[in-house]
Chain A
Amino acid sequence: MPRKLDVKTLGQAQGALRAEARRLLTDGTVSVFLGHEEGWDGLPVAFFAATPEEAGRLVWNPLVAFNLAKYLLDRLAGEEKVGIVVNGCGSLALDRILKDHRFPRERLYVVGIPCTGLLDPEKVLALPDEERERVLEGGEAGEDLYLKRCGWCDAPNPVVYDTLIGDPVPDEPVAQEYPRVVELEAMTPEERFEHFKGLYEKCIRCFACRNVCPACNCRECSLDQWEPLWMGRSTGASEQLMYHFIRAFDVAGRCIRCGECERVCSVGIPLMELNDKFLKDISELFGVKRPHVPADIEPLGQFALEDPDLEGAV
């Protein structure tokens, strides 16, 4: 169950965020601050404030769904110090990029804001005008209006930050359930194959799912390579499966379950099915609930001498 959206606190957070970003840009702690501003249709869009005045355009509201951490990769070249605002899941994305050594922590200043849940911008935009206003002003919002990930979020408080705005919200563990995976597991291999083939047939290979994913952060994606050609450029079934299976395997153990891939997919492919299967297996096999809990275990990215599976293997 999503936490209850707290619009008043969000409003206060926005003021504090602007002030903090302004301070950081004024005293030279950072030369750019990654946040959101109000976009053309009223929805927040990513925004890179470069002056103290621009900090005044930053927004913080129930629609700031887009994870900003991935933009750090654009700024890898250079020395500048970068400020960034994160909520709970935003910080998991950031943590992923830091753990994968894709951006130096020293060049970052992180402003964290505890989260009371976010709404799905697309669904909110589709509401009739009055209803939308009511919800955005803090009126009761139906559970289905929340981002899907809020339903299973057990990390509403930032796990990485330098400044925390507002008080931490209570974070009880939330049972991670995978109903779709249970259905998948009940299928025969043939049924599963047909199922996935049918799903991915619709894919237009726009790469939005890959490009938005904080765990898809390789310097060069194997799927972009021509030599060797791992994935052909045609959109036949075998290439589609290749794309989606490679991607799922690549993020296995590092997927933060933000569901952004599924949210940005314009043709509506339920991409989390496969990711969830890996998450479920990992939690059952390694006792790691999600990649960050416990925080010091990288289920598929770590080598331990005392690994029980090593016995007799060497």
Chain B
Amino acid sequence: MNANLVGPGPSGETPVVFGGSAAAGRLLVPEVATIIDIRDETASGDVKTFKVRMDRPEAEEAWSHLPGQCAMVSVFGVGEAMISITSSPTRGWPLELSIKRVGRVTGALHDSQAGDKIGLRGPYGNRFPTEEWKGKNLLFVAGGIGLAPVRCLIDYCLAHRDQFGHVDIVYGARSPGDLCFKDCIFNRWSRQKDTTVSLTVDKGDETWTGPTALVPMFLEELGPSPKNAVAITCGPPIMIKFTLQSLAKLGFTDDQIVTTLELKMQCGVGKCGRCNIGDKYVCVDGPVFTLSQIKELPNEF
């Protein structure tokens, strides 16, 4: 079993040496990986999806991630960035990473080409507690690149379709060109049994015939029922803020709402002291939290 799936390890627990990224079994030393394909996700090109493979077959074999987990991606000479794994484990290798250009590492990744070498270590973080959701209806609410971690989860749930009730996917972006994972949202997902995909954009264009509304408002209009349901939401902080209010209005309790947090990270393994909120480290105790867990944390951010 993957060591970091057992959840955060408070002191006293027998330490488990992690073998996932085992260049020489060293924690902060990544595996060498190769970018095998790069695809633009958005019209503006600010989000790209990278398909990557590890160079050592044994390393690929040792790797196993679950929805919600992340990988630390290295561009040597520049640095590292924590990135959610957007491809479902059920789809195997190559791994897919969808990355928004915001700074040095993400910029260097955007400037790279298929065939370039990078570093990968992980998988890190906890995961979505899918086994607790058996028999429940799932409501996914995502904005912009926030669909990246959720995409992995949706694919995973759809691969285990029989375990869940109705699946509702609500997704929005600033403009039609900013909608990511077009193949999934326009084709693959809506063809699945008992699955609806509802899309919205803040501002349409001449090709757009769908609704134009901000995600939280759109969600309220759709009015999904909280009965026997779980809501999973990811997106920019401002969207999350209003989506949480909308979910509350719809009657979702804090326990029924699951989201992911993002903070600056350097090690990804709970050592560097960077990513804490109160006594929780987002890199090992998160990034997935229920809203009631988040409300227990100091209101720092």
Contact with B along A203-237 (1 / 0, CB 8 A): 00000000000000000000000110000000000
Instruction: Identify whether the interface residues of A are mostly helix, strand, loop, or mixed.
Output: loop
Q: Is B104 an interface residue (CB 8 A)?
A: yes
In the bound complex, residues from chain A placing their C-beta under 8 Å from that of B104 are 226-227
In the bound complex, residues from chain B placing their C-beta under 8 Å from that of A227 are 103-104
* A interface residue count range (under 10 / 10 to 19 / 20 to 34 / 35 or more): under 10
Contact residues of B between 51 and 103, Cβ < 8 Å to A: 103
Closest to A227 in B: B104
* B interface residue count range (under 10 / 10 to 19 / 20 to 34 / 35 or more): under 10
Closest to B104 in A: A227
Contact residues of B between 231 and 253, Cβ < 8 Å to A: none
Alpha-carbon distance between A227 and B103 when the two chains are bound, in angstroms: 9
Contact residues of B between 76 and 135, Cβ < 8 Å to A: 103-104
B176 CB, nearest partner CB in chain A, Å: 32
Alpha-carbon distance between A178 and B103 when the two chains are bound, in angstroms: 46
Closest to A229 in B: B104
Alpha-carbon distance between A226 and B81 when the two chains are bound, in angstroms: 15
In the bound complex, residues from chain B placing their C-beta under 8 Å from that of A226 are 104
Alpha-carbon distance between A226 and B102 when the two chains are bound, in angstroms: 14
Contact residues of B between 133 and 168, Cβ < 8 Å to A: none
A227 CB, nearest partner CB in chain B, Å: 6
A17 CB, nearest partner CB in chain B, Å: 38
Alpha-carbon distance between A288 and B120 when the two chains are bound, in angstroms: 58
B75 CB, nearest partner CB in chain A, Å: 14
In the bound complex, residues from chain A placing their C-beta under 8 Å from that of B103 are 227
Contact with A along B213-234 (1 / 0, CB 8 A): 0000000000000000000000
B105 CB, nearest partner CB in chain A, Å: 11
B39 CB, nearest partner CB in chain A, Å: 27
A271 CB, nearest partner CB in chain B, Å: 29
A229 CB, nearest partner CB in chain B, Å: 9
Alpha-carbon distance between A226 and B103 when the two chains are bound, in angstroms: 10
Alpha-carbon distance between A202 and B152 when the two chains are bound, in angstroms: 49
B268 CB, nearest partner CB in chain A, Å: 18
Closest to A226 in B: B104
Alpha-carbon distance between A227 and B78 when the two chains are bound, in angstroms: 11
Closest to B107 in A: A227
B103 CB, nearest partner CB in chain A, Å: 8
Alpha-carbon distance between A226 and B104 when the two chains are bound, in angstroms: 9
Closest to B103 in A: A227
B136 CB, nearest partner CB in chain A, Å: 44
Alpha-carbon distance between A19 and B104 when the two chains are bound, in angstroms: 54
A230 CB, nearest partner CB in chain B, Å: 14
Closest to B79 in A: A226
Alpha-carbon distance between A311 and B104 when the two chains are bound, in angstroms: 45
Alpha-carbon distance between A199 and B104 when the two chains are bound, in angstroms: 34
A226 CB, nearest partner CB in chain B, Å: 7
Alpha-carbon distance between A227 and B102 when the two chains are bound, in angstroms: 13
Alpha-carbon distance between A227 and B104 when the two chains are bound, in angstroms: 8
Alpha-carbon distance between A227 and B108 when the two chains are bound, in angstroms: 13
B269 CB, nearest partner CB in chain A, Å: 20
A133 CB, nearest partner CB in chain B, Å: 43
Alpha-carbon distance between A227 and B79 when the two chains are bound, in angstroms: 12
Contact residues of A between 219 and 270, Cβ < 8 Å to B: 226-227
B233 CB, nearest partner CB in chain A, Å: 31
A43 CB, nearest partner CB in chain B, Å: 30
A228 CB, nearest partner CB in chain B, Å: 10
B265 CB, nearest partner CB in chain A, Å: 15
A246 CB, nearest partner CB in chain B, Å: 21
B18 CB, nearest partner CB in chain A, Å: 26
Alpha-carbon distance between A74 and B103 when the two chains are bound, in angstroms: 28
B270 CB, nearest partner CB in chain A, Å: 21
B209 CB, nearest partner CB in chain A, Å: 42
A154 CB, nearest partner CB in chain B, Å: 47
A46 CB, nearest partner CB in chain B, Å: 26
Give residues in B with beta carbon < 8 Å to A: 103-104
3 sample A-B contacts, Cβ–Cβ < 8 Å, listed by A number: A226-B104, A227-B103, A227-B104
The 3 closest A-B pairs by CB, nearest first: A227-B104, A226-B104, A227-B103
